[in-house]
Structure 1
Amino acid sequence: MPAAAADHRTPARRRRDVRLTLLNAVFWALGNGLVSTTLVTYLALELGARGVAIAWIAAAPRFAGVLRLAAPSILRAAADRGVGRKAVCLAAFAASVAVLPLAPAAVWDAPAVSDGRALTGRIVLLVSAWCLYHLLEYVAVVALWSWIGDLYPPRLRSQLLGRRESCLSVGRLVGVGVSILLAAAWAGLLPGAPRWAPLAASASVGAALMALSLVPLALTTAMASRPSAAPQSPWRSLRRALAESGYRRLIVFNCWLSAANGLTGAAQGMYPFRVLGMQYEQLQSLRAAMWGGQAALAPVAGNWIARFGPRRVITTAQLLVACGPLCFLLAAPGSSWWIAVAFALWVAYAPINIGLDTLKLGLGDPKNNAPYLAVYHALGDLSNGLTMLAGGLLYDLLAAGDQRALRVYASLFLAGWLLRLLAVPLAARLAEPSRRG
């Protein structure tokens, strides 16, 4: 793989750019914590959505994410017209934030709507807004990761990505905490208010914080002179990413893990709520604890990856996170604490995320990284979306009357556990980039 072009920034400027990208991560994740998939799932349940509709909440954005394959071409076309990668990134993020308020608007005064077609229309609006928000965000993310590949020097990349993952986890943690406090305060001060009201307020505040996160990015060095700022031969480069053995192994692992996670996505969203009787605040508290653990572990994991390499760290962590669905299988109304054990095991996603981020930047062409990033994310999203929708559809078909619901849940959780375990040998075969400065 060709070496990256020289970085002519001063050391002070490099440190400032790192701080700005970390600040962006904090505020964006803070907004994401307030606008989580869990929140949108609860909004959909308020509209009477069932398994397949809940699956679409998470799956539809994944299918839309396949369109991010066009992101390198968008960046190329923009560059040809004098619009840089930084401007495209900021514009796409801003547009996604502008669309986001449509999601809570779908449940406005929903209890007063009795017509079935009207409620279906509300669910369609909710899913469509959620999907469009993610599609715009996905285009921005390809540009952002291409940009980060230039901003973070390879020899320090895993440590810096560890710090970034920690900032993301802290932001989500605080965001979830604010959403819990908002829901509790709303219930205490306005006991007669509908349940959707604090959730909609949480989403609106989250959108404002995401908009605020764009300020640090606007102050970050554009790196416009780097070759990767204007992707070369975008569509041909997508095929090249699949043809290269090392990157293909990374994509296979990511697709397998995404598919395994997707299969149990709808069931994991519904089981604590419908079977265990857990409340939104309880689930968000568990997520907050998980993100707190990830925030603490991420910087250490970045150092482990720099020392031992991504492959060994990812393989070890995958053995832990694979047991999460098994905990859901063991959970029952009298032993719902197993859900807490699952979230504790999922703290180990932090080293997996950092390792995969290190590999997706390190194994791609540093002078033309956007097509590699686009195909990596798009295929992973497609795998996740297909199995997530299949899991939700299976639940609706086999447990429509709830008589066999527990059996379906058990089957999905068992399959999720086995598929995650089978990802371990794939992780052990991951290629690693050469260490260059």
Structure 2
Amino acid sequence: MPVTRATASNAAKKPYQRLVRQKSDAAIEEFFGPEPYSKTLGATSLARRTDRRSYRCATVPEKDTEEDVRPEPLDLEDLRAISLIGHGGVAQAVAVKVKRENSSHCLERKGSVLAMKLTSNRSTRDLERGKVHDKDRTEERQAERRAHWTLPWNPFVAGLLDVYYDDVNTYQLQEFAQCGTLADLIRSRGALPPDWIQFYLSNIVIGLEFIHSHGVMHRDIKPANIFISRTGYLMIGDFGSAAHVHECTSWQRIGTRLYTPPEVNLRGPMAAAIFDMDFDKRVATDWWGVAVTLYEMATNNVRVEDDTAIYNSLQSGTAPIPANVDRVLRNLITRMLNPDLRRRYGAHLMHCVDPASGAQVLRNLDIRSHKFMLDFPWDDAARRTLLSPCISAVVPDFARGWNHSVGMMSQADMPSLLIEEQPAHRSYDLRCVTGDDSDTEEDLLPE
């Protein structure tokens, strides 16, 4: 359903919107005020005034078109948390369902599922009080929201819909890709076929080019942050490490260690010399993440438990590539994982003119023109007219019942976001008791 920011009050609407039901001459006269004329009103003046009055009535719309097109914006009380879909140190993500009780709008889609990211205010206070000695995090704690609001809507980016606050959390309402992540797909299917890799790589390139064209750096590109929509297309999400390219003062210790380029791990003046307000060198951070993601799709060799070995091989450009990987794809991976930033393939963007809009955009011509992607229909992929090679299962599948494999939600952790009432058959299931309740096992037994 369309979700917009709060609209202006009725008192601030345009005059024509307030004249919807004012049909009589007296009502129009009262609204516009008396028209200056002489005491002896002639026939010509009277006819002109009558024509003007009829013209006003004819041009008044019969319906308030703005209210017909846009439903009222969602509030927290219009949403219900239905499942925990992920959690981290200072944030957690839950799936929420739109459950507005008193809406009869023709475009209102009750039951729509969205994602809500909850960030603890305690973590922000710890940063502000100096308990967390991390200058970058202190300066960029609002970077995710600022990056989201900078970006217009794009189908290849999981957009931010609204932001709410209470004494405990900051709530960010976002689009929800219900088919999991690219990491889930690789984990379940192993190394992907070349035609699948072409399709998914094109999605990542188009989305990242759009983000960079608006001066935003994601800085944490990895399969776990690339979501799969219901159509099978990818969406780049989780802008927790994002920053505007000309605002960030330091680029050390950013993103996920396995997906960071060698230059990010430098310290002191050498790091400052590399990233000092250089656009190409900063965007290269994201494209190294794309290179590691491409390597993971082709080989499925990236393992968390083997972090040190695979990390060292990636940093040195000696990551092993199985012999069964397509030769042209192997060439692209090897050239993109070059530790030398000056010779790294795909680390530089070119300014081009978008033929559809005529606007200046950034394009990664290295990847687009490589033999592996040269014959790929990029325009069809951008219009999303291609058929996805794989339609993943919905995660979590709410049609099969409640899914609590990630963990249970606690009302104390989200005081302003109500949790959906449990089904009747789970009323006495101890696993469904929220952590803030003080009920004992005896209290939950039937009377």
Q: TM bucket by the smaller chain? A: under 0.3
Q: Which has the higher strand share?
A: 2
**TM-score, normalised on structure 2?**
0.23
Structure having greater relative contact order (Cα 8 Å, sep ≥ 6):
1
Structure ranking higher in helix proportion: 1
> Which of 1 and 2 has greater Rg?
2
